[in-house]
Amino acid sequence: MRKTILLFGVAGALFALGLVARFGFARRSPAPSTRSLAAGATRPSASSPWERPASVVVVLDRATSEFRWRLAREAVRELVEALGPEDRLGVVAAGGDLLTQSGSFVLDPGGRARVVAWLESTTASAETAQLGLGPTLQMAEGLLKLTTEGTRSSHIVLVSDGAHIPGVLSHAELREMVTGLARSGVRVDAASPGVPELRPPLEALAELGGGRLVVLRAAAGIRELPSL
pLDDT digits (tens, 9 = 90+) for 44-68: 555 566 777 888 898 888 877 777 7
- Distance of alpha carbon 166 from alpha carbon 164, whole angstroms: 7
Asked whether residue 28 carries a pLDDT value surpassing 50, the answer given is no
CATH architecture of the domain covering 2-223: 3-Layer(aba) Sandwich (3.40)
- Mean pLDDT score of the chain, rounded to an integer? 70
Q: SS3 for 199?
A: coil
Residues 155-176 pLDDT 10s: 998 888 887 776 776 788 888 9
* pLDDT recorded at residue 23: 53
pLDDT of res. 42 = 52
pLDDT digit string, tens, across residues 87-137: 888 888 877 554 456 677 777 778 888 888 888 887 776 655 556 788 888
Look at residue 77 in the predicted model and tell me its pLDDT.
77
The rounded distance, in Å, linking the Cα atoms of 48 and 22 is 11
Report the distance separating Cα 53 and Cα 38, nearest Å.
18
Give the pLDDT of residue 45: 59
Let me know how long the chain is: 228
**Residue 33's pLDDT is what?**
35
How large is the average pLDDT for residues 69-83?
77
Average pLDDT of span 212-225: 50
Give the per-residue pLDDT at 19. 53
Q: Are 91 and 83 in contact (CB under 8 A)?
A: no
Rounded-to-integer distance, Cα 94 and Cα 11, Å: 22
How is the chain split into domains, by residue range? 2-223
| pLDDT of res. 88 | 85
pLDDT in tens, 187-214: 998 888 767 888 888 888 999 999 888 8
Query: CB within 8 A of 77, min separation 6: which ones?
Result: 12, 115, 116, 119
Query: What's the confidence (pLDDT) of residue 156?
Result: 92
Distances 214 to 2, 25, 190 between C-alpha atoms, Å? 28, 14, 6
Element (DSSP H or E) covering residue 212: strand 210-215
* All residues at 6 or more sequence positions from 205 whose CB lies less than 8 Å from its CB, including other chains: 158, 165, 168, 178, 188, 190
> How far is Cα 83 from Cα 103, in angstroms, rounded to an integer?
16
User: Could you give the 3-state DSSP secondary structure of residue 20?
Assistant: helix
